[in-house]
Amino acid sequence: MQYKIMEFVVYVNRPLNSKEKAEGSYNMVDISTDRREVSVKDRSLPTAPVKTFSYDKVFTGASKQIELYKAVVLPILEEVLLGYNCTVFA
């Protein structure tokens, strides 16, 4: 029996909370939803190169939960209804 294995990797960035804002924290990632990339800055060494990671889908802190649900969870639920085993890690 052959199995079809699919992986779908998603990045979801949360906005800073009020405590983080009050402490002067800042976001250390730049998000490009068009390129589906997340670039991470090293705040301890400002001259360090930025590291960039690619994902299947990228969501910003301004994204709504319904957007994430429709893009990620709903297609998986459709696979479950077709009889496939599926898992979502969050």
Which stretches within the chain are classed as H helix? 18-22, 65-68, 74-81
**pTM score:** 0.73
Cβ within 8 Å of residue 57, ≥6 positions away: 8, 10, 11, 36, 71, 72
Q: Which amino acid is at 84?
A: Y
Q: Which two tokens stand for residue 44?
A: 């301890």
**How far is it, in rounded angstroms, from Cα 1 to Cα 64?**
40
Give, for all 90 residues of the chain, the pLDDT tens digit: 666 667 778 888 888 899 999 998 888 888 999 999 999 988 777 788 889 999 999 998 889 999 989 998 888 888 889 888 888 887
